[in-house]
Structure 1
Amino acid sequence: MEARRGENIEKGFDGVSVSDEVDRESIEKKKMEDEEVLSIERCFENAEVPSWQNQLTFRAFFVSFILGILFTFIVMKLNLTTGIIPSLNVSAGLLGFFFVKTWTKFLEKSGMLNQPFTRQENTVIQTCVVATSGIAFSGGFGSYLFGMSEVIAKQSTEANDAQNIKNPKLAWMIGFLFVVSFLGLFSVLPLRKIMVIDYKLIYPSGTATAHLINSFHTPQGAKLAKKQVRALGKFFSFSFLWGFFQWFFTAGDDCGFANFPTLGLKAYENRFYFDFSATYVGVGMICPYIINISLLVGAILSWGIMWPLIDARKGHWYSADLSPSSLHGLQGYRVFISIAMILGDGLYNFLKVLGKTGSGFVHQVRDKNTGIVLPVADRPSPVSASLSYDDQRRTQLFLKDQIPTWLAVGGYIAIAAISIATLPHIFHQLKWYYIVVIYIIAPTLAFCNAYGCGLTDWSLASTYGKLAIFTIGAWAGASHGGVLAGLAACGVMMNIVSTASDLMQDFKTGYMTLASPRSMFVSQVIGTAMGCVISPCVFWLFYKAFNDIGLPGSQYPAPYATVYRNMSILGVEGFSSLPKHCLMLCYVFFAAAILINLVRDAVGKKWAKFIPLPMAMAIPFYLGAYFTIDMCVGSLILFVWGKINKAKADAFGPAVASGLICGDGIWSLPSSILALAGVKPPICMKFLSRGTNTKVDNFLAS
């Protein structure tokens, strides 16, 4: 949409009817002067662009490896707590700049600096780090992969037999990721020229990251980046030390600051409290206000109104003797109504993005100048003289280092063949012909996701994964391990379409920073390979360190693991497992999610910002409001800061938020090691009502 609008503006400008030739010349002159002022590449005109081999340095990958581990811990913790993961591109670019700049300064003082730090190398680091930590999300450690485990399966009475369970093991998780994570990179590789140059897709996140990296490497930007890194470091230290301090008070269940009944004990019982999590205060500062408000609305609607009312029907709508985690009781309403909203929102956005993708693609092909070659060829197309200086320079260098099409096609076929031969040995329920069907249609879906992401910045990887859950699960059937087959198919599909859109975002970033497509592709491959090892190891550390991982109410409840498994059960076994009136409520909330989205799109951007997002509303339906309150506190801090000094809030807000997230996230490493070593906190801090406290005192006195 944005790319088309940009082209229309250009056409409208060039097509102005001007009778006087002098006026036309003055307009063109003014246009060129404006371009001179706004040109980014003029700032770097005298800077030599290193060859693609020189952009791939040892120090870049060493820093990427260290940051990849840090960011994997952060993403894994978010995966296993609420499943809300903000964009960490800014943090990756900022920390990459800081580490390598420090490295080069040290070498420069010692007279050993052979190669200066460039924005291309910074782009390589950012790409590699995001690719590494991205596997922690697309690998399904908080969703489909952990949903296969016995811990999650035991939370329902359906499909918890041996053929629908596969417990995590380090070897098969690493093997699975290696055979499914690279296909997406090859599936859209031949389309890079069409997407970035011919169709001029925006890729908002990739464009924003490129602007950030470009600004870092100008003299003024470098000074600001140093101040931002200093702010990040301060709040990183505070967040890490705060996590360490809290640990001392968590010697038992429901102990510590994380269980502080800040809004009263009755509110605490309904999961309304501030849990002092620096991570989610930081996430709240990064997420748009509408996300946090949507979460709060969802929490009030569910835990404030619906669940107390349904709980009052205990004994009528469902048995009063059920355990709190049974899906035949209140927990079933929480899980399945949440699933209904997620599916409704996902279906609407899938159709919306698919419609935009289809219409945009048709317009692009119809309006494209016939002189430009559409199919991606190994030879570069001519650079149009009508382009701005920036676009001419970027297009010239983007087309300089071509990646052969035969490499993309051959790589896809080779990896697909290995995957088809290997996956049935990891999941015997996932037959080879299921995988063949997935790999035949996957490139088309990968293109749709990458193209739609370029238009809307919205990746629908999880929606395509859910599509695989229902289709492959139903095909396999309940008696042949359909639940596990559906979850495994979800993983295959999610990894392909997710990495495809990520790679195209990185190509856009590389295009705008003059980083070679070859260096982008190589750094993405290396980052993905790192992630295939680092992510399972980090998950294994959590899995072994915390015995209650995946259980409702625990420190790491992994809510989406339960959601994904129950989607698979729903797809295979139908609606027989739902408690009374739950199906009707699911229909209502499914329709409500679609209706809310329709209203949001109908009223326009001015009013849409006041209408909550159904996907965000659905998350606290299952988890509660505690993390929502944390995020709203983060929003409030940023809002007040913006009112006091908007320039500082805009400049340092993301850095402060990143520091809070990174510090608390990296505390997960020492806390996991302490748990594995059997070192327990010395104090349990609990909160009791006055009446309960009196009873405890009387009991102890007797």
Structure 2
Amino acid sequence: MTIEEKPTKPDDHDDDEESEAAAMERVFSTQEVPSWRNQITIRAIVTSCILSIVFNFIVCKLNLTTGVIPSLNVAAGLLGFAMLKAWTALLNKCGLLKQPFTRQENTVIQTCVVASSGIAFSSGTASYLLGMSSMVASQLETGNTPNNVKKLAPGWMIAYLFVVSFVGLFSIVPLRRMMIMKLKLTYPSGTATAYLINSFHTPKGAKLAKKQVSVLFKSFSFSFVWAFFQWFFAAGDDCGFASFPTFGLKAFAQRFYFDFSSTYVGVGMICPYMVNISLLVGAIMSWGIMWPIIEAKKGTWYSADLSATSLHGIQGYRVFLAVATMLGDGLFHVVYMAITMLSTVIKNKTKKDESSSDDDNKAVSFDEQRRNEYFLKDQISNWTALGGYVALAVISIVIVPHFIFPQLKWYHMVVAYIIAPVLAFCNAYGCGLTDWSLASNYGKLAILIFSGWAGLQQGGIIAGLAACGVMMNIVSTASDLMQDFKTGYLTLSSPRSMFFSQVLGTAMGCIMSPLVFWFFYRAYSVGDPHGSYPAPYGALFRGIALLGVEGFSSLPHNCLKLSIGFFIGAILLNLLTVILKKCEKKYRLYRFIPSPMCMAIPFYLGAYFAIDMCIGSLILFIWEKKNKKSAKELAPAVASGMICGDSLWGVPAAIMSMLGVKAPICMKFLSASVNTKVDGFLGN
């Protein structure tokens, strides 16, 4: 899952599942493993391309609404399996099948699709790139100068992504043997994906996959039809089911309502319970308590004449308190990850020194021996990786400052590319231990450093946001590739096929992500906090850049004190969670401590999507109580179908919007007094 990061972890396997996984390679021992070239087939590339388009639309819509993105690995693996299984079965019936469908081919598809949709997140079309636009700049007012604004266009966005997105892939390749074979890092998401793909290609797993695909398409159809039905009632602003005042008009004014979004009900079914509760706690704390109190100080804490979007008014508190919470959470995890990494390295070294003689005589299991053999079979030389990193970095250093972002100087880029491999290693290592990717945290730190370095008059806002993109793409793609190496290791997929499918998926994402974003950008008022696609991270990332160039002088009255409090509070909450995990084992109280990062998201948007997600959690909770086995097997498929159906309705809806086709009905809710006035006006 990605809520700026990836805080979710796969469910722990029980003993039966672990023993079955341990003996997995004996099940496949009679099957020939295809060469790396035969793992990357034309049919796999075509399937990956189709699914990449679908997943780019899904991720883009989620990015532009709330920024809460669940893990789509299960859906990618499942849909890839379903599409190619159906195609190969048809060819087999016709006597035309030349190469059977293998788990290695399935892994290539999943890797390619996830790499492409990963670029949809790290591309920053809904965060740092959108933060450069005049729409977001006009909302925050401060720093709205020509050299701190850049007009968005798909051409330069695609070019920018191509020169910065591939560098990270080469930065981590030389460390694959150490991290996968020697350190044996877990990479929970990569491991879970591998077990899923392995199970699909056993008779029992194929039967369950068929059932999951059927359920997915049923929930997809329901979600799509429901979104289509809602469209008829949304002819204008604040019309339709999405503006239903579920808890009354006063609560609706404070953004507390259920908006009937099957997307976020589905997201809530995938996300852990505490993530959803954290979002709701953050919404209650901000829109239910803090903002009404601060608004009551209008005229004292800030001028009553300011516009609703001014950073020196209520909007400043919303933006900077969210930013402070995110920075506190991010700083804690960066430091904690560094401590964890160093501690693990020291323990592993000590353990290795103490038991080196035992290790020499230790028998290697059949599975491990077979996996090691195929993982070492097709190597990518370190010189190739080093040469690729240097060459791509030089190209980026030349093109980005001279042709795309003049505000970001060549020496800024040189420093970024010197630091990036170290951060890429830290992120990939930490991700292997905890399943957390801290890419966006490194990106936020880059904003603060490089925006302050450049300065406001020299376009520091654009420089900081562009540097964020450089850092995020390198660090994110590096950890994603190592996850894929782990998946490939457990499915006997060649490292070369994993690398090239990651490259292919990245290339697809670099093209598709800006084009899909542009599709929404032309059809809707993207970035409008009161519109259908508020894209909250655009304003939040620009707020971080403003903090970097102006310092604390840009904050309204008492905002600095509150921001420091929330910054420290985020660190303390995380520290308490870690302490309880280490010390309190009986009741596992750490499960009930909310996540600061999740709490910060509703500060800007409100509670409506948190309510949707909590309803998703409630549905899953009831389902698990009634039939835990069924819920575990089918809930991810149901949730994925709901997300896919509602998100893909955005395509025809956007086309109709661009063509000027409007819904025929406006369903709007008024108070009794306002309704009386309207009736009186119409009567006259």
TM score, norm. by length of structure 1: 0.92
Taking a change above 3 Å as real, the CA distance of residues 576 and 38 of structure 1, as seen in their structure-2 partners, is: closer
Query: 1:516 and 1:577, CA in 2 relative to 1: closer, same or farther beyond 3 A?
Result: same
Quote the offset at 1:158 in angstroms: 1.4
Residue 472 in 1 paired to residue 450 in 2?
yes
Find out whether 1:162 has 2:146 as its counterpart: yes
Q: Aligned pair 1:358/2:358, yes or no?
A: no
Distance in 2 (alpha carbons) for counterparts of 1:38 and 1:428: 54
1:34-93 Cα deviation digits (max 9, x unpaired):
978941111111111111110000110101001001000110011111111111000000
| 1:251 corresponds to 2:235 | yes
Answer whether contact 1:36 1:42 (CA < 8 A) is retained: no
Aligned-partner SS, 2:499: helix
Measured after TM superposition, the shift of residue 384 of structure 1 is: 8.3
Matched to 1:288, the amino acid is P
Q: 1:323 Cα shift?
A: 1.7
Report the residue type matching 1:699 in the other structure. F
Q: Which residue of 1 aligns with 2:397?
A: 420
In the alignment, does 2:529 pair up with 1:545?
Answer: no
Where do residues 332-347 of structure 1 align in structure 2 (5 Å cutoff)? Answer: 332-347=316-331
Question: Does the 8 Å contact 2:119/2:513 carry over to 1?
Answer: yes
- TM alignment of 1:606-617, pairs within 5 A: 606-617=588-599
1:682 aligns with 2:659: no
State how far apart, in whole Å, the 1-side matches of 2:238 and 2:129 are. Answer: 28
Compared CA separation, residues 67 and 570, structure 1 to 2 (3 A): same
Measured against aligned partners, the alpha-carbon deviations of 1:210-256 in whole angstroms (never above 9, x if no partner) come to 01001111000000000000000000011111111111111111111
Q: How does 1:94-109 map to 2 (within 5 A)?
A: 94-109=78-93
Give the 5 Å matches for 1:77-476: 77-368=61-352, 386-424=363-401, 425-476=403-454
Question: Larger C-alpha radius of gyration, 1 or 2?
Answer: 1
Residues 110 and 623 (structure 1 numbering): CA distance in 2 closer, same or farther, change over 3 Å?
A: same
Out of 495, 500, 506, the position equivalent to 1:522 is 500
Amino acid at match of 1:116: P
Q: Does 1:592 align with 2:569?
A: yes
User: Separation in 2 of the partners of 1:622 and 1:60?
Assistant: 41
Identify the residue that residue 694 of structure 1 maps to in structure 2. 676
Superposed CA offset, 1:166-187 (max 9, x none)? 1111110000000000001000
Q: Structure 2: where are the runs of 5+ without partners?
A: 1-14
Aligned residue in 2 for 1:74:
58
Tell me, in whole angstroms, the C-alpha distance in 2 between the residues paired with 1:48 and 1:385.
28
TM-aligned CA deviation for residue 328 of structure 1: 1.2
CA distance in 2, matches of 1:365, 1:415: 34
* Selected match of 1:531 from 489, 492, 509: 509
Deviation, structure 1 residue 370: 11
Distance (whole Å) between structure 1 residues aligned to residue 658 and residue 226 of structure 2: 21
Cα deviation code 1:303-353 (max 9, x no counterpart): 111111111111111111222111111111111111111111111111101
Q: For 1:309, give the aligned amino acid.
A: I
Kept after mapping to 2: 8 A contact 1:206/1:509: yes
Once the two structures are TM-superposed, the CA of residue 366 in structure 1 deviates from its matched residue by 4.5
1:655-674 maps to which residues of 2 (within 5 A)? 655-674=637-656
The question of whether the paired residues in 2 share the 8 Å contact of 1:164 and 1:484 is answered with yes
Distance between the aligned counterparts of 2:378 and 2:548, measured in 1?
Answer: 46
Q: 1:231 to 1:63 in 2, by over 3 A?
A: same
Match of 2:10 in 1: none
**In angstroms, what is the RMSD of aligned CA positions?**
1.6
Q: Could you say if the C-alpha distance between residues 106 and 249 of structure 1 is closer, same or farther in structure 2, counting changes exceeding 3 Å?
A: same
Letter matched to residue 430 of structure 1: L
Aligned to 1:9: none
Are positions 1:48 and 2:48 aligned together?
no
- Identical positions, percent: 65
Which letter does structure 2 place at the counterpart of 1:408? Answer: A
- Whole-angstrom distance in 2 between the partners of 1:499 and 1:316: 47
> Partner residue of 1:646?
628
Give the letter aligned to residue 97 of structure 2. L
Question: What count of residue pairs does the alignment treat as equivalent?
Answer: 660
Runs of 4+ in 1 over 4 A off after TM superposition: 34-38, 369-372, 382-385
Q: Which amino acid aligns with 1:500?
A: A
- For residues 370 and 116 of structure 1, the distance between their equivalents in structure 2, rounded to whole angstroms, comes to 47
In the alignment, is the contact (CA less than 8 A) between 1:188 and 1:447 conserved in 2? yes
Q: Which amino acid aligns with 2:619?
A: I
Please report how far the alpha carbon of residue 367 of structure 1 lies from its aligned counterpart in structure 2 after TM superposition. Answer: 4.0
- Give the aligned partner of residue 575 of structure 1: 552
